[in-house]
Structure 1
């Protein structure tokens, strides 16, 4: 893989990359409409492919928050055309890596030594390169290690990158500026946390220790003495990323076992720890033929405030939806409905969000759920597509929903997507208070 010898770090240099991407996108549109004059039946497939390629190339050279946003978008099939999904998914573990001299320079900055002076052996060729950093193999004291090295300038450019990228995002995603502004602070704070490897080290140790009793999960040991604010060292874990794992044609039993571990992992974090590994993309999980799975990268962790947790998850028990007064109170608390809404608007948005909750909460309404059921996911994607065209939402005076829901919704979307690709059938374990009366009756009848 071609390496990268330089990363633009100044605001001017990084801004120029966004401008170049915008110019290329504009040129692609002109080319598309020129061809359409000759062929009125021409679809936008080639346009999407050209735009996706040009934008990804620009973002992959910038690294950092810009590439991280592409990674987040690649998980959401309801927002982007397939060409963007496929291209942006490369940011999960296939971005162009840094060259050797830049890696050595980073080690000298934080340890005063080269990697060869710290480890018995250090492979200068990165094995994975993603949005915030890249991973190298190393050996010390007979142990094979994974060393995550952060790209230079990433931490300092988060805020300015997000401001510069906003116009491109508005155009590309057809979003209102208020929708983006609504959640920009939440995204910015999480991206800044992801660049702090000392924070990630502490969270990694805490969450992996607390989750160590969950069957079939494997966590690496972390090494504080070999880590710093921009470098993180842990045990090397073997395994396949999801797409490569599926190429091995695992049995349904193994798919279900791994799927169950994924479900139980997130269930425990959310309901017991009240903080969650909020980056459930395939690059963070290493799956094995025996049905075990390694979990890595706790850079993005969402701490769930009690007020949000209490309101959000009350809706997952569908008994709540039978109580209109309680439901409307929660909708206000979660900012689905706002004080400025007219009675007509309140009724409209209440009905809309009830439908959304019933659809997305369906796995919680059963004892087991078959995530391989594509008809369910087709319905979800169709609903999301319809949602994007609802005039009342597009013309709303405010963006709907608490900013805390951004990463929780993203977490569940990523979890559902992976379980769908696994075609896993899982027991949807949940706290007792989330079991509805209807489901409780079904469970009693089943014995």
Structure 2
């Protein structure tokens, strides 16, 4: 893959990339409808492929929050046409890397030394390149290390990138600008945190030490003396990303073992630590033939407020939805229902969110769940697709759902999607208070 010798850092240069992508997308539409005049049965497959390639090429040159947006969208199967999600998946660990001189410049800025002066050996060719930074192999005192180097300028461009990207998101996702604005602050704060490698270093050490006793999980050791605000050094972990791992055709026992480790990892973080690795895409996990799994990248961590936690997870207990008064109170607390709703709207949205809650909580309602059950995921994706066509949602005067739910829901969505790809059956451990009292009788 060809490396980049520079990254656009000024607002004008970055805005120009979005404009260029928009012009190409417009040209693709003209080309598509011109062909459709000759062939009325022409599908949009070629249009989606062309648009996905052009948008990804533009975002990959910008790096940072622009490319992170593509990475996040790639996790939402059913939200975008397959061509987009397949192409944007590359943002998880296969973006175009930066050239060697730019990497050296970053080291000189933060350490006053070149990589070869800090390490016994440093490979200037990146082995992985994602949205915020890229990873190099290095060696020091006989240890093989992973060194993550942040792209220049991405931290300073987060806020302006999100403003520029909003029209593109509105067009691609067919979302209301009001809905996007509601969550923009949450997204912006998380992206700014992801560019702070000193914060990531502290969280990485804290969470990996807290989760060290969970079976089959492996965490790297981190090196503060070889890290800075834009450079992070840790032990190198061997393993394969999910798609490559599945190509080795692991048996069901290994799939279940890794799936259980994933479930237990998130169960402990959410219910014990009340903060969670909120970026569960395949690029952050390294799977091994022996059933163990390495966990990396604690840049995106969602701290879950107690008020949100208490209300959100009360809905997981199936007894709650049988109590209409309690359910309505929780829906109000989670901002699914608002004071401005008419009686008719309250009934409609209550029924809608009850249906959604029951569906997404199905794994919690049993002691073990087969995430290889494609019928369950077909139902979930069909429901999500149907939401986009509900006029009451489109015409609603308010955006619904607490902004705290954005990354909590994304966490579960990503976890479920990975478990589905693994085709894993797991024991769905949970706090006792989330179990129905009927189970305990």
Counterpart of 2:388 in structure 1 is 388
SS of equivalent to 1:6: coil
Q: Kindly indicate whether residue 98 of structure 2 is the aligned counterpart of residue 98 of structure 1.
A: yes
SS of equivalent to 1:289: coil
Counterpart of 2:282 in structure 1 is 282
- 1:351 to partner: Cα distance: 0.1
Counterpart of 1:87 in structure 2 is 87
> Are the counterparts in 2 of residues 71 and 92 from structure 1 also a CA contact under 8 Å?
yes
Counterpart of 2:34 in structure 1 is 34
Counterpart of 1:326 in structure 2 is 326
- 1:310 to partner: Cα distance: 0.4
SS of equivalent to 2:259: helix
In the TM superposition, 1:6-405 aligns within 5 A as 6-405=6-405
CA offsets, 1:321-359, max 9 Å, x none?
A: 000000000000000000000000000000000000000
- 1:413 to partner: Cα distance: 0.4
SS of equivalent to 2:6: coil
For 1:118 and 1:440, how far apart are their aligned partners in 2? Answer: 59
For 1:346 and 1:37, how far apart are their aligned partners in 2? Answer: 46
TM-score, length-normalised on structure 2? 1.00
- 1:318 to partner: Cα distance: 1.0
List runs of 5+ in structure 1 lacking aligned partners: 442-447
For 1:437 and 1:322, how far apart are their aligned partners in 2? Answer: 12
> Are the counterparts in 2 of residues 68 and 132 from structure 1 also a CA contact under 8 Å?
yes
For 1:166 and 1:55, how far apart are their aligned partners in 2? Answer: 14
For 2:384 and 2:242, how far apart are their aligned partners in 1? Answer: 25
SS of equivalent to 2:416: helix
CA offsets, 1:99-131, max 9 Å, x none?
A: 000000000000000000000000000000000
> Are the counterparts in 2 of residues 255 and 423 from structure 1 also a CA contact under 8 Å?
yes
SS of equivalent to 2:60: helix
Number of residues of Structure 1 aligned to a counterpart in Structure 2: 441
- 1:440 to partner: Cα distance: 3.4
SS of equivalent to 2:42: coil
SS of equivalent to 1:109: helix
CA offsets, 1:381-413, max 9 Å, x none?
A: 000011111000011001110000000000000
- 1:438 to partner: Cα distance: 3.7
For 1:440 and 1:361, how far apart are their aligned partners in 2? Answer: 18
For 1:364 and 1:68, how far apart are their aligned partners in 2? Answer: 30
SS of equivalent to 1:302: strand
CA offsets, 1:11-49, max 9 Å, x none?
A: 000000000001111111111111111111111111111
For 2:108 and 2:396, how far apart are their aligned partners in 1? Answer: 52
Q: Kindly indicate whether residue 413 of structure 2 is the aligned counterpart of residue 420 of structure 1.
A: no
> Are the counterparts in 2 of residues 365 and 439 from structure 1 also a CA contact under 8 Å?
no
> Are the counterparts in 2 of residues 246 and 422 from structure 1 also a CA contact under 8 Å?
yes
> Are the counterparts in 2 of residues 77 and 381 from structure 1 also a CA contact under 8 Å?
yes
- 1:208 to partner: Cα distance: 0.1
CA offsets, 1:217-271, max 9 Å, x none?
A: 0000000000000000000000000000001110100000000000000000000
SS of equivalent to 1:136: strand
SS of equivalent to 2:136: strand
Q: Kindly indicate whether residue 432 of structure 2 is the aligned counterpart of residue 432 of structure 1.
A: yes
SS of equivalent to 1:113: coil
- 1:436 to partner: Cα distance: 1.1
For 2:395 and 2:439, how far apart are their aligned partners in 1? Answer: 38
For 2:371 and 2:439, how far apart are their aligned partners in 1? Answer: 19
SS of equivalent to 1:91: helix
For 1:201 and 1:415, how far apart are their aligned partners in 2? Answer: 23
> Are the counterparts in 2 of residues 60 and 67 from structure 1 also a CA contact under 8 Å?
yes
> Are the counterparts in 2 of residues 366 and 439 from structure 1 also a CA contact under 8 Å?
no
SS of equivalent to 1:94: coil
> Are the counterparts in 2 of residues 186 and 403 from structure 1 also a CA contact under 8 Å?
yes
For 1:142 and 1:418, how far apart are their aligned partners in 2? Answer: 34
For 1:248 and 1:171, how far apart are their aligned partners in 2? Answer: 39
